[in-house]
Structure 1
Amino acid sequence: MSLEIHDISKSFEDNHVLSNINFSVKDGEFVSLLGPSGSGKSTLFSIIGGMSQPSGGSIYLDREKINGKRGSISYMPQSSSLFPWRTILDNVVLGQEIAGKVDKEKALEMIERAGLKGYENSYPRQLSGGMKQRVSFIRSLLSPQSLILLDEPFSALDEFTRTKMQKWLLSIWEEHKRSILFITHNIEEAIFLSDRIIILSNKPATVKKEFIIPFDRPRDVNLLLSEEFLTWKKKIYEEM
């Protein structure tokens, strides 16, 4: 499912947050947004998700205008946002439940793929941070929408768990090839995960630069220590 952002601007009275943002996400593509804190990345996500109206511009999903339309995308926030009173299985099928078509067999299969077999009837309080994030991502994958927005989903994890989660995310994404738009402040994370990286300026944010990442898939963590990877990290750091 392709996403097109055309001249999106957003102001809150005299606070100009976004200014003429233009970019696209192709079907099955993994695109990351990098930018300084407070540059409006989460505001942009709320506009794409229909929770907020832009001050100007249009959003198209498969050529259909979705300004202010909710339910068009699947969204995974920084925190896992699991319902504490629902079991892991019930949390995972929530998106399907809302859409009126629950496939518990598929959900159980995905829970097993995530290394969470045996936790189906557990509650979020019984899981570690990384396990909760896996549950949240499975919920996003099982929701009927083909575009997933990920807002710094691994920012609260320690470095070892974060790397493990990045590898897991790529393994699942490469199998299902959903379109992903990913917010991060971590340059290494953006390079390791993405097909393309879009750099946003300070607010009012504009698209400052776009990079096509040349590394083949599937990607291995050894890539993080390669000279070419470090060259790309330097290039993007200097642009930011």
Structure 2
Amino acid sequence: MAKLSIEQLSKSFGSESIIKDLSLHVDEAEFVSILGPSGSGKSTLFHLIGGLYPPEKGDIYLDGQRITGKRGAISYMPQSPSLLPWRTILDNVLLGAEIAGKRDTETARVMMDKAGLGGYESAYPSQLSGGMKQRASFIRSLLSPQSLICLDEPFSALDEFTRLEMQKWLMSIWEHYKRSILFVTHNIEEALFLSDRIIVLSNKPAYVQREFKIPFKRPREESLMLTHEFLEWKKTIYNELREFS
């Protein structure tokens, strides 16, 4: 059974149709990325999954339970880290678990060590770099009890080298904890490097235009991005996206 199943979803704002008859799924412990033209409804889709908006049509299921229009069913990481400035880093990463009544300080400290945040437990967000804040935000998502994590362009504000380091770190952490992830990005290389599958959305009203199953074995090394096969995949997906630019 798919962890996440979206069936014939449609959403409009006023007279403007944003998403129409969109269906997709994310399997257990699968990393799926969504690519699409700017303004194609990727963030709206996340808001629908998170229950912030009700759809006009369609249903959303998580772990076999209907969650259409329900909040709190997923763990969501936005583009900005959204850390609370008055809480320490340890208290920030524990926030989601704390709300769910499952605060586990020992596990949080272990995960912070793995993320290179050991020693920063008592620090505040203003004392951390952008990359460190993103790591803290992702650990918060991992510590939340929900089975699906939705990541909305979490590395878009980072410089190229920090972004690559964060991609490698995210992949290593994900391969260890194996949570189901739905990842929105505009970066084709990022999607190829991280994903098991890539879903390409059409221009709005968005539907699934094409789906690609990525063949690269795990664990993946940075050198993969310079191989002929990787560049050919990048060209194929670029040409698919170009049809809607």
Aligned to 2:219: 218
Question: Helix, strand or coil for the counterpart of 1:69?
Answer: coil
Partner SS state of residue 45, structure 2: helix
State the match for 1:96 in structure 2.
Answer: 97
SS in structure 2 of the partner of residue 233 of structure 1: helix
Aligned partner of 1:181: which letter? L
The one-letter code of the counterpart of 1:230 is: L
Tell me the alpha carbon deviations over residues 157-209 of structure 1, each in whole angstroms, 9 at most, x when there is no partner. Answer: 00100000000000000011000000000000000000000000110111100
Indicate whether 1:67 and 2:78 are aligned.
no
Match runs of 1:185-200 below 5 Å? 185-200=186-201
Aligned-partner Cα distance in 2 for 1:54–1:193: 29
Question: How do 1:1-240 residues align onto structure 2 when only pairs under 5 Å count?
Answer: 2-240=3-241
Q: Take 2:222 and 2:79, find their aligned partners in 1: how far apart are those partners?
A: 23
Counterpart amino acid of residue 69 in structure 1: K
State the TM-score, normalizing by the size of structure 2: 0.97
Q: Which moved more, 1:55-64 or 1:190-199?
A: 55-64
Shift of 1:10: 0.3
In the aligned structure 1, how far is the partner of 2:206 from the partner of 2:85?
36
Query: SS of the residue aligned with 1:75?
Result: strand
- Once the two structures are superposed, residues 91-127 of structure 1 have per-residue CA deviations (whole angstroms, 9 ceiling, x without a partner) of 0000111001210000011111100111100000000
Q: How many residues align?
A: 240
For residues 77 and 63 of structure 1, the distance between their equivalents in structure 2, rounded to whole angstroms, comes to: 25
Task: Report deviation, 1:9.
Answer: 0.4
Post-superposition offset of 1:74 = 0.3
5+ residue gaps, structure 1, are none
CA shift for structure 1 position 63? 1.5
Shift of 1:62: 1.4
SS at match of 2:53: coil
Gaps of 5+ in 2: none
* C-alpha distance in 1 between matches for 2:230 and 2:88: 41
Match of 2:174, SS state, is helix
Q: Tell me which amino acid in the other structure corresponds to 1:187.
A: I
Compute the TM-score of the two structures, normalised by the length of structure 1.
0.99
Letter in 2 for 1:140: S
Identity of aligned residues (%): 68
